């Protein structure tokens, strides 16, 4: 049997059109390449 309460917690409000701008700003676009660049820069500093 599923736990209704626990399952319900997995649902989140869907972003509305009025919130699209905030949604875009909050979008995390960091990728693995950024991480490599960051690591490379730190190694260079050392």
Partner 1 sequence: MRCFNCGAELTINPFCTNCGADIREYRRIMWASNQYYNDGLTKAKVRDLSGAVLSLRACLKLNRTNIEARNLLGLVYFEMGEAVAAFSEWVVSKSMKSDKNIADDFMETIQANPSRLATINQSIKKYNQALAYAKQGSLDLAVIQLKKVLQMNPNLVVAYELLGLLYLESEEFKRARRILSQAMRIDRNNTRILYYLKEAEDGIAARFQQDSPRGRKQEGRASADSITYTSGNETIIQPVNTIEKGGSSAAVNIIIGLVIGCALMFFLVLPARIRSASSEMDDQLKEVSDELTVKNADLEEQDKKIEALQSENDELKGSLGDLAGSSGMSERYDHLAEAALNYIKNPEDVTGTEALLKLIPVENSPEETVSLEILPSTSSGLDPTIYSQAFRDLYSYLDNDVSSRAARTYIDSGREKLENDEYQAAIADLLKATEIAPLNDEAWFYLAESYKESGDSIHATQAYSKIVNEMADSPYAGKAKENLSNGAATENDDQGDDNGRAADDNDDNDNTEGALSEEDIAAQQLAAMQVLQAAAGAGTTETGAE
Which residues have CB under 8 Å from 23's CB, separation 6+? 15
CA distance 7 to 46: 48
27 touching partner 1, by CB under 8 A: yes
CA distance 46 to 39: 11
6 touching partner 1, by CB under 8 A: no
46 touching partner 1, by CB under 8 A: no
24 touching partner 1, by CB under 8 A: yes
Q: Which residues of this protein are in contact with partner 1, per CB under 8 A?
A: 1-2, 4, 7-8, 10-11, 13-17, 19-20, 23-24, 27, 29-34, 36-37, 40
């Amino acid at each position: 049997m599923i736990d209704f309460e626990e399952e319900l917690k997995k649902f989140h409000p869907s972003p509305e059109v009025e919130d699209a701008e905030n949604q875009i700003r909050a979008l995390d676009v960091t990728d693995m390449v950024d991480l490599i660049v960051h690591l490379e820069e730190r190694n260079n500093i050392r």
